[in-house]
Amino acid sequence: MSVPRWVMAALALGLVAGAFPRRADAQTADGTLARAVAALEATETERGVELLRQAIAAAPRATSSALRRNAEVYLAVASWSVGLFDSATVHFQAAIGADPFTTLDPEQFNPDLLAFFRAVRRATLVLGVRVPPDTALAPRTEPWPVSVAVARPGQVRFRLAGPGPDSRDTVLATATVDSTATVALALPVGGSVARAAGSYRLAVDYSEPRGRTAAATISLELTEQVADSLPHEPPPPDSLYRLEVRWGAPSRASLVRGIGFGVGAVAFPVLLANSRLRRAEGRALTVGAAVSLAGLTGYFLGRPRQPLPENISYNRALRSAWESRNRAIAAANERRRGVALLRVRVVSQP
Amino acid sequence: MRAAVVGFALVGVLAGGASGQDPRSLLRLGAQAYDFAEYGAARAFLMAGLNPAAGPRDSLWVASVHRLAHILIEERKDSVAAVWLRWALRVQPGLVVDTVDFPPPVQDAFARARDFVADASSGDTLTETTWEWVRGRGETQSGLRIERSGVAMSGFVEGIGPLPAGETQRVAAGSYTMVVSAPDYFFRARVTREVLPGITTVVRFRLRGLSRQALGFLYVASTPWGSLYLDGERTGYTPVAARPVAVGPHRLRIERAGYAPFDTIVTVGRDQRLRLGTIRLRAAGSQR
C-alpha cells in the first residue's frame, strides 16, 4: 500500500513546524532575558522580574540550561535587592539545579550576595558532570577529562559499564572533590581499541560526609578512529627565493677588440691586397663595419654574470628546511598510522 | 582555710554541674575563683552566670563582666573578650568601666567595644534580643535566630547567608550583622548583634505596632557594586530596590574602594518609587 504524496508532504510539514517553535521559543526567551536585564539596569525591578519569569517560562527546558541559569541568578539578585531573601534562596537553588557549575563573579556581585549564594550552594545537594561531547584520544597515553561540580566536599566515584547493557562495572577513579574538579580517566580498552568499541554508561556517584548521595549517568559511544595524517607542505613560493647571479658592467676590452677587428677587416684588404682587387673596397668596408658592429653588440649585450654566494646559500637553506619539514611530516604520519585512536562520543548526559 | 573552702565549693559545683546552680551563686563562685587565680573554673562560672535574664544587672554582674574580660585577655582570647564586652554594652549601655580594680588592657578592650556598639542603626529601636543560655553539660554550638512573629519575614546574615525566620543558624562566636525584611510592613532593618560562645542569640522585631509614617521607595543600582549610605547610615550594598524611606530629602552616598564616592541628595515623595537607575562609579583619579 503506497502512502499518498500529499500525506507525506503533510507529515514533513508537521515535523518542520514542530521543530520551529522550539527554536522560536529559545529566541523569544533570549530576547525576553535581554529586555529583563535592561529593565533591571534601569532599576525597573518589578518589570525586570516579570520579564525574567516570562523568559524562564518560554525557555525550552531541554536546551536552555544556560539561559535558565542566568535568568534564575538575575531573579535571585532582584529578590535579594527587594528584601525577599527566602525567594532569593529559591532562585539561587534553581540556578544551581539548572547548572551545577554556576559561580558568581566577585566583580559583578557584592560580597553579601556571594556569601548568600555560597550558603545556598552548600545547602543544596547537587552533582554536575561535564565531559567533552565528541573527542578522539589515544587511550593508552591520553586520559579522558571529566569535570564534576559538587556543593559540599565529598567523594566522587566514576564507574564505567559496557559494552552492552549487561556488562559489569569497572571503577575508573575515586576522587575527593571540594567544589569543582577535573578528573583524568584512563579508559580501559584492553588489548585492542577495535574490540573496546561499543556503547558504555559512565555512572558518577557522589556521597557527602553527612551521608547524602547523588548520581548521574552518561551514555557513551566508543568507536575506533582512523588517525588523520598531516598533509605535506607545498614548496616555498618563488617570491621567497633570492637571485643567485648578478649581471656585471660591460667590458671595454671587448669593445676595443671588436672595433680593432673591424678596422683590421677594412684595412687589410685595402692596404695589402692585390691592386686588381682594390675595387672591392666597398665589400671590405662592409665586412669591417659588420665586425665593428659585432664588437659593439658584444659590448652592450655580453655583460659577465657574477654569482652571489650569500643568496645561493640562503636559497639552499630554504630548500633544505622545506625538505626537512616534509620529512618530519612523513615521519609523524608514519607514527600516527601506528597509534590506535578511540573516538568517545556522548550520546546522552544529564 | 579560705582556699580550702573555695576548693571544696568548686569541686562540689563542678560535680553537680555549673549550669544547675543559681546564676547569682555562679557569679559569686566565679569571683572567688578569679580571686584565687583559678581562671579556668572562674571562666566557666562567669560564663554560666552572666545570663541577663536570670538576675539584676547590678554591681556583681558588672564586676563579673570585667572579670571574664580580664580572664579572656589573660588567656589571649581577645576576640572572645571583645564579643562579651560588646554584648555587655548592648545589654547595659550605661555600664561604667572599673578603672581601679582592672588593668589597662581591660579598659582598652571596653573602649574598643564601646566604639563598635556606638554605631547604632535605625533598626535597633524595633529589635528585641534575648539569649538562650543552655542548661546542661557539654559544649554547645553558638547560634543565631530570628524569632517568628506572625509576619512574613526573611533575613540574611552578612557574610554568612540566608537566615529564614524560625531557623537557628549555627555560627561561631562573634558580632554579626543581619538584614531583615518584611515587605508587607514596608520594613527593612539592618542590625548587629553578638553571638556568645555556646549561646543562641534570638532576635525579635516588633512590627505590629510599627508607625505608618509616610513612605516612599528608593531604587538604586551601581556598577560596580558599592556600599550604600542613606543619611550617613550604611544600609548595605547595591543594588537596592523598593527600599522604604521616609518622605523628604535624603543624602545618598555610594562608596567603593578604588572609585570616587558618588554623592547626591534625593527627595522622595509619598508613595513615590524613585528610580535612580544604574550609577556608574568613576575609578579614582579618572577624568570626569
Distance in Å, alpha carbon of A76 to nearest chain B alpha carbon:
12
| Contact across the interface for A89 and B162, Cβ inside 8 Å | yes
- pLDDT of amino acid B15: 44
CB–CB of A85 and B238 under 8 A? no
Longest Cα–Cα distance in chain B: 79
pLDDT at res. B6: 52
For the B2-118 domain, the top CATH level (class) is mainly alpha
Residues of chain A with Cβ-Cβ distance to B164 below 8 Å are 85-86, 89
Reply yes or no on whether the pLDDT at B16 is more than 50.
Answer: no
Confidence of residue A276 (pLDDT cuts 50, 70, 90): low
> How do residues A148-159 score in pLDDT, each as one tens digit?
999 888 999 999
In chain B, which residues have their Cβ closer than 8 Å to the Cβ of A48?
none
List the domain boundaries for chain B: 2-118, 122-205, 215-280
Nearest chain A Cα distance for residue B274, angstroms: 9
Chain B: give the shortest CA distance to residue A25, in Å: 30
Of A33 and B124, which is predicted with more confidence? A33
More confident residue, B170 or B12: B170
Q: How far is B117 from chain A (nearest CA, A)?
A: 21
Could A109 and B163 be called an inter-chain contact, meaning their C-beta atoms sit closer than 8 Å? no
Contact (CB<8Å) A43/B243: no
Peptide bond into B224 cis (omega under 30): yes
Q: What is the mean pLDDT of residues B117-140?
A: 74
Whether A91 has a pLDDT exceeding 70, the answer reads: yes
Write the residue in B181, B183, B238 that is nearest to A110 by C-beta: B238
Question: Residues B55-96: pLDDT tens digits?
Answer: 888 899 999 999 999 999 999 999 999 999 999 999 998 899
Minimum distance, in Å, between the CA of residue A151 and any CA atom of chain B = 15
Contact B181 A89 (CB under 8 A): no
What is the pLDDT confidence band of residue A17, given thresholds at 50, 70 and 90? very low
- Tell me the nearest-neighbour CA distance from B108 into chain A, angstroms: 31
Name the residue type at position A103: T
pLDDT of residue A165: 67
| B241: nearest CB among A43, A110, A122 | A43
User: Does the CB of B278 have a partner CB in chain A at under 8 Å?
Assistant: yes
> B162 and A88 in contact by Cβ < 8 A?
yes
Which of A41, A85, A109 is nearest residue B162 as measured by Cβ atoms?
A85
Q: pLDDT grade, residue B47 (50/70/90)?
A: very high
Cβ of residue A79 closer than 8 Å to a chain B Cβ: no
Q: In Å, how far is A147's CA from the nearest CA of chain B?
A: 27
Indicate which of B148, B151, B156 best probes the interface with A, i.e. most A CBs within 10 Å of its own CB.
B156
Looking at per-residue pLDDT, the higher value among B10 and A133 belongs to A133
Q: Is the pLDDT of residue B202 over 90?
A: yes
Q: Cβ A83–B275 below 8 Å, yes or no?
A: no
For chain B, say whether A81 makes contact (Cβ under 8 Å): yes
Tell if the CB–CB gap between A115 and B159 is shorter than 8 Å: yes
**pTM, two decimal places:** 0.68
Q: Which of A77, A81, A86 sits opposite B164 (nearest CB)?
A: A86
Cβ-Cβ contacts under 8 Å, A88 against chain B: 162
**B181 and chain A in contact, CB less than 8 A:** yes
Contacts of A115 in chain B (CB under 8 A): 158-161
Distance from CA of A54 to the nearest CA of B (A): 20
What is the greatest pairwise CA distance in chain A? 136
Whether the pLDDT of residue B33 is over 80: the answer is: yes
CATH 2.60.40 applies to domain B215-280: yes
Q: Which residue has the higher pLDDT, A24 or A243?
A: A243
**Any residues with CB less than 8 A from the CB of B107 and at least 6 apart, and which?**
B97, B99
Count of CA atoms in the C-beta half-sphere (13 A) of B228:
26
Write down the mean pLDDT value for chain B: 86
In A, residues 85-124, which contact B (CB 8 Å cutoff)?
Answer: 85-89, 107-113, 115-116, 118-120, 122
Q: How confident is the model at residue A21 (pLDDT cuts 50, 70, 90)?
A: low
Q: What is the CATH number of domain A127-223+344-348?
A: 2.60.40.2550
Higher pLDDT, B173 or A304: B173
Mark yes or no for CB contact A85/B240 under 8 Å. Answer: no
Cα separation of A164 and A161, whole Å?
8
pLDDT at B35 over 50: yes
Percent share of chain B, pLDDT over 70: 87
- pLDDT tens for residues B140-188? 789 999 988 777 888 888 888 888 888 898 899 999 998 888 877 778 8
pLDDT tens for residues A44-72?
999 999 999 998 888 776 667 888 999 99
The shortest C-alpha distance from B43 to chain A (Å) reads: 33
Is residue A120 a contact partner of residue A89, using CB atoms and an 8 Å limit? yes
pLDDT digits (tens, 9 = 90+) for A215-255: 999 998 888 877 778 889 999 999 999 999 888 777 777 77
The answer to whether B5 contacts chain A (CB < 8 Å) is: no
Contact A110 B275 (CB under 8 A): no
Whether B166 has its CB under 8 Å from any CB of chain A: the answer is no
Long-range contacts of A306-315 (CB under 8 A, 24+ apart): A306/A245, A306/A246, A306/A247, A306/A248, A307/A244, A307/A245, A308/A242, A308/A243, A308/A244, A308/A245, A308/A246, A311/A242, A311/A243, A311/A244, A312/A244, A314/A242, A315/A241, A315/A242, A315/A244
- Report which secondary-structure segment, H or E, holds A94: helix A85-98
Q: Rounded to an integer, what distance in angstroms lies between the CA atom of residue B244 and that of residue B188?
A: 7
- Report pLDDT for B36: 92
The residue behind cell 507529515 is A11
Q: Which residue of A has its CA nearest to B161?
A: A116
- Comparing B255 with B212, the larger pLDDT belongs to B255
From A41, A45, A115, residue closest to B161, measured CB to CB: A115
Residues of A in contact with B179 (CB under 8 A): 83, 85, 112
pLDDT at residue A15, as a whole number: 45
Torsions phi, psi for B221 (to 5 deg): -135, 160
Phi, psi (rounded to 5 degrees) for A63: -115, -5
Q: Chain A interface, mutation test: which of B153, B219, B243, most A Cβ atoms within 10 Å?
A: B219
> Angle at Cα B38 formed by Cα B32 and Cα B42, nearest 5°?
60
Do the chains contact at B179 and A83, CB–CB below 8 Å? yes
The dotted CATH code for A5-123 is 1.25.40.10
Distance (Å) from the alpha carbon of B160 to chain A's nearest alpha carbon: 6
Please give the Cα distance from A301 to A48 (Å, whole number): 86
Higher pLDDT, B124 or A92: A92
- Report the distance separating Cα A48 and Cα A74, nearest Å: 9
Q: Domain map of chain A by residue range?
A: 5-123, 127-223+344-348, 238-336
Average pLDDT over residues B199-210: 82
Q: Which pLDDT score, from 0 to 100, does residue A275 have?
A: 64
Q: Which residues of B touch A78 (CB under 8 A)?
A: 241
Q: Are B178 and B204 in contact (CB under 8 A)?
A: no
**B16-41: buried (b, 16+ CB within 10 Å) or exposed (e) per residue?**
eebbebebbebbbbbbbbbeeebbeb
